[in-house]
Amino acid sequence: MKLDILNIEGKSTGRSIELSEDIFGVEPNSHAVYLAVKQYHANQRQGTHSSKGRSQVKGSTRKLKKQKGTGTARAGDIKNPIFRGGGRLFGPKPRDYSFKLNKKLKLVAKKSVLSSKAAEGNILVVEDFTFDAPKTREFNTVLQNLALTGNKILFVTTDHDNSLNLSGRNVKSAKVMEAKNINTYDVLNAKKLVLSEGSIQRLNNLLTNAE
List the domain range (segments joined by +) for residue 73: 51-91
- Residue 154 to residues 38, 178, 181, 188, Cα–Cα distance (Å): 20, 10, 12, 10
Neighbours of 145 (CB within 10 A): 16
Q: In Å, how far are 14, 55, 116, 153 from 176, measured between CA atoms?
A: 25, 49, 20, 8
The number of beta carbons lying within 10 Å of the beta carbon of residue 101 is 13
- Domain co-membership, 181 together with 87: no
DSSP 162-183: HHHHHHHHT-TTEEEEEGGG--
**Tally of structural domains, the chain:** 2
Same domain for 110 and 34, yes or no, is: yes
In this structure, are 21 and 118 located in the same domain? yes
Q: How far apart are CA 11 and CA 170, in angstroms?
A: 25
Which pLDDT score, from 0 to 100, does residue 211 have?
55
> What does the pLDDT read at residue 1?
81
Same domain, 72 and 11: no
Encoded amino acid at 171, one letter: V
Return the closest-CA partner of residue 136 out of 106, 162, 168, 114: 168
What single-letter amino acid sits at 207?
Answer: L
- What is the pLDDT tens value at each position of the chain, 211 positions in all? 888 999 989 898 999 999 999 999 999 999 999 999 999 999 999 999 999 999 999 999 999 999 999 999 999 999 999 999 999 999 999 999 999 999 999 999 999 999 999 999 999 999 999 888 999 999 999 999 999 988 899 999 999 889 999 999 989 999 999 999 999 999 999 999 999 999 999 999 989 876 5
Please indicate, yes or no, whether residues 70 and 174 belong to a single structural domain of this protein. no
Tell me the sheet residues that pair with 18. Answer: 2
pLDDT for 130? 87
Structure confidence at residue 10 (pLDDT): 87
Distances (CA, A) of 92 to 44, 48, 82, 135: 17, 9, 17, 45
Do 178 and 129 share a structural domain? Answer: yes
Position 210 scores a pLDDT of 60
Residues 8 and 111 in one domain: yes
User: What pLDDT does residue 208 have?
Assistant: 85
Q: What pTM was estimated for this model as a whole?
A: 0.82
DSSP at 6: E
Q: How many residues does the chain have?
A: 211
> With the C-alpha atoms ordered 62, 67, 72, 73, is the resulting torsion angle positive or negative?
positive
Rounded to whole angstroms, the Cα distance separating 185 from 200 reads 19
**Is the domain of 195 the same as that of 102?**
yes
